[in-house]
Amino acid sequence: MKKVRRAAALRYDRKTDRAPVLVAAGEGLIGEQIEKIARENQVPVVQDHSLAEALVQLDVGREIPPHLYQVVAEVLVYVMKVDGRYRKG
């Protein structure tokens, strides 16, 4: 049995956002399209099935709930380390 693809996209601007905001989420074909668009636009993609499952249950356009802060913070730190746009010098 094939696993259902789940994907979510977050935005976080520490100057304007109190917490990361869910900007896209979906399952199946929508999840596949979210991931495809991210890769085409060189947006870092992190695979975390449990986090994706939790995020697709939320309303798009809303801040993530406090119980997801820690795991999302870990993902953001990882993204900043691997994404050249965040590297110094």
Domain boundaries, the chain: 6-86
Instruction: Write down the pLDDT at residue 86.
Output: 57
Question: Domain 6-86 in CATH: superfamily?
Answer: secretion proteins EscU (3.40.1690.10)
Amino acid letter, 76: L
Instruction: Write down the pLDDT at residue 82.
Output: 79
- Specify the DSSP element, H or E, that contains 76: helix 69-82
Question: Is the Cβ–Cβ distance between 59 and 25 less than 8 Å?
Answer: no
User: One digit per residue, pLDDT tens: the chain, 89 residues?
Assistant: 667 789 999 999 889 999 999 999 999 999 999 999 999 998 889 999 999 999 999 999 999 999 999 999 999 888 888 776 655 54
Instruction: Write down the pLDDT at residue 89.
Output: 45
Point out which residues pair with 26 in neighbouring strands.
Answer: 7
Instruction: Write down the pLDDT at residue 77.
Output: 87
**What's the pTM?**
0.83
